[in-house]
Structure 1
Amino acid sequence: MSGSPGPAADLPEPIKVVPLRHPGRWIAAVGILGLAALFVYGAATNDAYGWGTYWRYLRDERIVRGAWVTVELTVLAMLIAIVLGVALAVMRMSPNPVLRSAAWVYLWVFRGTPVYVQLVFWGLFPSLYRTIDLGIPFGPQFFHFDIQNLSAAFAFAMIGLGLNEAAYMAEIVRAGIGSVADGQVEASTALGMSWAMTMRRTVLPQAMRVIIPPTGNEVISMLKTTSLVTAVPLSTELYGRARDISGVNFQPIPLLLVAATWYLAVTSILMVGQYYLERYYAKGVSRRSSAPEPAGAGQ
């Protein structure tokens, strides 16, 4: 008497999983690595790059001072841009048509003209005005500023970069504030918060996760835009120092590589700081899909 087949006999054979092959990816990777190796080898053996000059000036005191001036210019210009950008964003969102129109004209002018042209204008500003006086005509003067005694190059470079960047920061701040739901403001008002307290405790903390990423990008962009202040003219920053040195030794390529290395080093530090700021302000924000769970998933 033969027994009935066991339950294991009724099970189908296990499916053999064969991983999907991607030969195109491997071919592309090998091709890219090969091209990179050829470029590195060609650059290392090409005397035109002037690697000896590159290593000699990489830590030159003039280059280091120029890099520090570049960082100072970036920080001060961004401070002007952030403060003025917040003010312009509030003006753009104001119900007052005069404030709203004035902010729109400012953005139209500074976003519609090249920053290099603006810097050239600021370099020529002392030719237009010798002093700035505010007061009553034929009466007392409340403010007197002698432009001719101003440290023109650095100050006008900082002002020119800051005023240009403020137009972009205004749109970034406005977009961040606009991303906060109106219900958040209404709830804060219902709790008795003033407008300033609502902005400080409710709106801005939530808007920062939208404002921080593009602001970090603007800081990095500002660092590189400082190379245009030669239009003022200002030659004490990083690119200006490298250009002046190359004008003496007639080796522009290695000096450009030196400047590029310092720009890369500083921007790398800024990118790390931006990463941690973004992570800090992204706390509590879930990236998981909001799709409903299938029935019985929680059982």
Structure 2
Amino acid sequence: MATPPAVLPAPSVRKPPPAPAEPRIVPRRKPGQWAAAAVALLLAAMAAASVVRNDAFQWGVVADWFTARSVLNGLGLTLWLTGLTLTLGFLFGTLLATMRLSANPVLRTLSWAYIWVFRSTPPLVQLLFFFNIGALYPTLGLGIPFGPEFVTVRTVNLIGPTLTAVIGLTLLESAYAAEVIRGGILSVDRGQLEAAAALGLGRWRVLRRIVVPQAMRAIVPSAGNMLIGALKGTSIVSVLAVSDLLYSVQLVYLQSYQVIPMLVVATLWYLVVTTVLSIGQYYVERHFARGATRDGLPPTPLHRARTAVRTAARAAVHRAARS
């Protein structure tokens, strides 16, 4: 009888060593930043508490006068003056910027001299100068230089306090607007203009489709700062007895001697209006920043808030389902 063949033992298989665990990245601790943040938060809380608990602010008086008719009328005049002077300033500033960029040396020199004069003198001095223009020029005429005048107008009857404020602020804002517009135009790459000329595009189409959209990315931030500065700068017209927001509250506290609460009323209105303008500036900047980056625009604060609310709601639903 044949013996069965011997069964050889199976060769042992070595198990591969376990893969090393991936190292966990731990952010570096920054105790100094947290300590500085805690100190800053403590100081901010102390400042807020001192404002809220200080009876000298008279918050009840502030609430009574915040929506008073005289204050709202002054606020309306401030907004009207800001919008009118800034609009006229940018229209005139566009002309000045075009003159600065012109190849004509006479136009460049005249534009530069205008900007130099109005940026070098204080706004209050300019307003007082225009308000007293009647002492220097009692009459203004239109006619032939060094010859007869055809139309003559007395400046005393022509320029009042409100018109003086409009003229002075418009001439001032136009000098700053000219530099803002000129800087925005110069920020456009010259290579794109050369490429547009090589494609045979007209000058108006190049200006409308290439120059202006790219220049606005540099113009809008500075223009927004100019808008907010013009809003606050209109307060200097109170020296001319123009009934803007500041002059309206001044009339109230000169009669009631409630100086601090009335100044708080004006401050709060300036804060409200500048906040609204800042929000508008943010969305205008986003509009002209489209296509500037390949990754797209970051989400707005409203989108972030919606995302946070949705995430919190989903987490609450999951916790409820598990329980």
TM-score with structure 1 length normalisation?
0.87
Q: Which residue among 200, 207, 211 is the counterpart of 1:199?
A: 207
- Look up the match of 1:38: 46
SS in 1 for 2:208: helix
- Look up the match of 1:240: 247
Alignment of 1:238-277 (within 5 A): 238-277=245-284
SS in 2 for 1:133: strand
Higher alpha-carbon deviation: 59-68 or 176-185: 176-185
How many angstroms apart in 2 are the aligned matches of 1:274 and 1:198?
Answer: 26
Q: By how many angstroms is 1:205 displaced? A: 2.1
Alignment deviations for residues 12-48 of structure 1 (CA, whole Å, 9 cap, x no partner): 2442443322222332222222222222222222222
Aligned residues: CA RMSD: 2.2
- Look up the match of 2:292: 285
How many residues are aligned here? 285
How many angstroms apart in 2 are the aligned matches of 1:62 and 1:147?
Answer: 30
- Look up the match of 2:191: 183
Q: In the alignment, is residue 98 of structure 1 matched against residue 119 of structure 2?
A: no
How many angstroms apart in 2 are the aligned matches of 1:144 and 1:200?
Answer: 42
SS in 1 for 2:27: coil
Alignment deviations for residues 138-165 of structure 1 (CA, whole Å, 9 cap, x no partner): 6572x55443333611111111111111
SS in 2 for 1:173: helix
Structure 2, unpaired ranges of 5+:
1-9, 296-323
Identity %: 41
Alignment of 1:152-191 (within 5 A): 152-191=160-199
Amino acid at match of 2:49: Y
- Look up the match of 1:126: 134
Q: Which residue among 223, 230, 240 is the counterpart of 2:231?
A: 223
Alignment deviations for residues 65-119 of structure 1 (CA, whole Å, 9 cap, x no partner): 1111111110111012101111111111111111111111111111111112111
Amino acid at match of 1:239: L
- Using a 3 Å threshold, how does the CA distance of structure 1 residues 248 and 131 change in structure 2: closer, same or farther? same
Q: Which residue among 53, 65, 73 is the counterpart of 1:65?
A: 73
Q: In the alignment, is residue 21 of structure 1 matched against residue 35 of structure 2?
A: no
- Using a 3 Å threshold, how does the CA distance of structure 1 residues 21 and 191 change in structure 2: closer, same or farther? closer
Q: Which has the higher contact order (CA 8 A, sep 6+)?
A: 1
Report if aligned partners of 2:78, 2:244 keep a CA contact under 8 Å in 1.
Answer: yes
Q: In the alignment, is residue 54 of structure 1 matched against residue 58 of structure 2?
A: no
How many angstroms apart in 1 are the aligned matches of 2:147 and 2:192?
Answer: 52
Report if aligned partners of 1:157, 1:234 keep a CA contact under 8 Å in 2.
Answer: no
SS in 1 for 2:142: strand
Report if aligned partners of 2:92, 2:174 keep a CA contact under 8 Å in 1.
Answer: yes
Q: In the alignment, is residue 82 of structure 1 matched against residue 120 of structure 2?
A: no
Higher alpha-carbon deviation: 187-196 or 107-116: 187-196
How many angstroms apart in 1 are the aligned matches of 2:99 and 2:125?
Answer: 26
SS in 2 for 1:155: helix
SS in 1 for 2:279: helix
- Look up the match of 2:315: none
SS in 2 for 1:201: helix
- Using a 3 Å threshold, how does the CA distance of structure 1 residues 122 and 151 change in structure 2: closer, same or farther? closer
TM-score with structure 2 length normalisation?
0.81
How many angstroms apart in 2 are the aligned matches of 1:124 and 1:4?
Answer: 105
Report if aligned partners of 1:115, 1:164 keep a CA contact under 8 Å in 2.
Answer: yes
Report if aligned partners of 2:162, 2:242 keep a CA contact under 8 Å in 1.
Answer: no
Q: By how many angstroms is 1:58 displaced? A: 0.8
Q: By how many angstroms is 1:210 displaced? A: 1.2
- Look up the match of 1:291: none
Amino acid at match of 1:212: V
Larger Rg: 2
How many angstroms apart in 1 are the aligned matches of 2:51 and 2:204?
Answer: 58
Q: Which residue among 8, 11, 15 is the counterpart of 1:6?
A: 15
How many angstroms apart in 1 are the aligned matches of 2:98 and 2:191?
Answer: 19
Report if aligned partners of 2:185, 2:212 keep a CA contact under 8 Å in 1.
Answer: yes
Alignment deviations for residues 203-223 of structure 1 (CA, whole Å, 9 cap, x no partner): 222211111111111001100
